[in-house]
Amino acid sequence: MAEDFYDTLGISREASDSEIKSAYRKLAMKYHPDRNQGDSAAEQKFKDVSQAYEILKDPKKRQTYDQFGHAAFEQGGGGAGGFGQQGFGGFSDIFEDIFGAFGEGGQRESRGDDLRYDVTIDLEEAFTGKSLEVTIPKMINCPEQHSYKSCSTCQGYGKVRTQSGFFSMERTCGRCGGTGQEMKGRCSKCSNTGRIKQNKKIQIKIPAGVETGNRIRMSGEGEAGERGGSYGDLYVFININNHKLFQRERDNIICDVAIPFTTATLGGNIEVPTIEKKMVNVSIPKGMQSGHKLRIKGKGMSILRTNTRGDMIVKVHAETPVNLSSDQEKLLNQFNETLTKKNSKMTEGFFDKVKKMFN
């Protein structure tokens, strides 16, 4: 085993620090376990060059080595030997030394994905708010107890280096996801991913006053990250069904109401339904024009995160009667003959506009 360290790195005993460094760099890339998966000879070679570099990069250790050879380091280690696990423990430092800073998050666990869940509710439910329980299939942390050891690909470093031409690239170790740890043995539940798919019941609370397109963020209700990573969030997207009677305009509710043309003419009272399924009385003023609106204060939608409500807006349409009896026709004809310009609110304006158009 005790090959000369200079031979291991393929350099002369007079090699400068930078020559040592570049020799190591080349060899470390060549034999890195990430590039030689399952090749135990390469793995051993990788360890050897790392050990050699560990000693030769340090002027003091190098001097000692030059004087006393391997013996200098084998003595002090006791039993397992100075180069055993201990020597190799400095591995990440070497890498750091050679390739620069660690980069952030060497030990970071990956956070799980956010999830989206679409909920369609009725306008009445948007008015009152709604609680519902849904079942969402998602990844959760594996409930089994796992024990861990140092990652066999990156030796616990969490990152691997690859060389491409002049460029050295550092990336997160694929085996351990950057944690530097891998599971001991085989977990039959999660196949060592640290998470399993499960149907999870989730209580969703939709507040009163939501609108289509609103989303509710449920912190930590997303998917578990791999290898015990934290949970993402769940976003509940709200969609509201069209209502048969009501249209929503932000906080207001519009209701189109057809009334007899006589009521529109003479005035009167009508009843209209509200969103909370009550009837309210609305008084129609005399001479109400078709398409005009009446406002009922505070009978509209709930306003999100308040105790107040918008308004209800009643849009009145005067209905033209059909299937008249001859008596009714006679009455209407009589009535028609009595009409004068004074009875019209709009005709004059309309014909004025027509006149202008042809001038």
Amino acid present at 223: E
Contacts of 341 (CB under 8 A, 6+ apart): 347, 348
Location of structure tokens 């028609």: 336
Angstrom distance (rounded) from CA 85 to CA 153: 16
Contacts of 348 (CB under 8 A, 6+ apart): 341
Of 98 and 187, the one with the shorter C-beta distance to Zn ion is 187
Angstrom distance (rounded) from CA 86 to CA 288: 95
Buried b (16+ CB within 10 A) or exposed e, 160-178: bbeeeeeeeeeebbebbbb
Of 144 and 276, the one with the shorter C-beta distance to Zn ion is 144
Contacts of 291 (CB under 8 A, 6+ apart): 315, 316, 317
316 close to 264: Cβ distance less than 8 angstroms:
yes
Cβ neighbours, 10 Å, residue 131: 8
Euclidean distance between the first and final Cα of the chain, in Å? 111
What is the smallest separation between the CB atom of 30 and Zn ion, expressed in angstroms?
Answer: 19
Location of structure tokens 């793995």: 43
Of 2 and 169, the one with the shorter C-beta distance to Zn ion is 169
217-to-136, 149, 248, 278 alpha-carbon distances in Å: 15, 36, 24, 33
Of 141 and 302, the one with the shorter C-beta distance to Zn ion is 141
Q: Which runs of consecutive H residues, i.e. helices, occur in the chain?
A: 5-9, 17-31, 40-56, 59-68, 71-77, 85-89, 91-99, 123-128, 261-266, 326-338, 347-358
What is the smallest separation between the CB atom of 151 and Zn ion, expressed in angstroms?
Answer: 3
- Interacting residues with Zn ion (CB under 5 A): 142, 144, 151, 153-154, 173, 175-176, 187, 189-190
Of 197 and 205, the one with the shorter C-beta distance to Zn ion is 197
What is the smallest separation between the CB atom of 228 and Zn ion, expressed in angstroms?
Answer: 10
> Cα dihedral sign for 184, 188, 189, 192?
positive
What is the smallest separation between the CB atom of 144 and Zn ion, expressed in angstroms?
Answer: 4
What is the smallest separation between the CB atom of 97 and Zn ion, expressed in angstroms?
Answer: 19
Of 24 and 157, the one with the shorter C-beta distance to Zn ion is 157
Amino acid present at 75: Q
> Cα dihedral sign for 52, 53, 58, 59?
positive
Of 171 and 286, the one with the shorter C-beta distance to Zn ion is 171
What is the smallest separation between the CB atom of 143 and Zn ion, expressed in angstroms?
Answer: 8
Of 43 and 251, the one with the shorter C-beta distance to Zn ion is 43
Of 183 and 204, the one with the shorter C-beta distance to Zn ion is 183
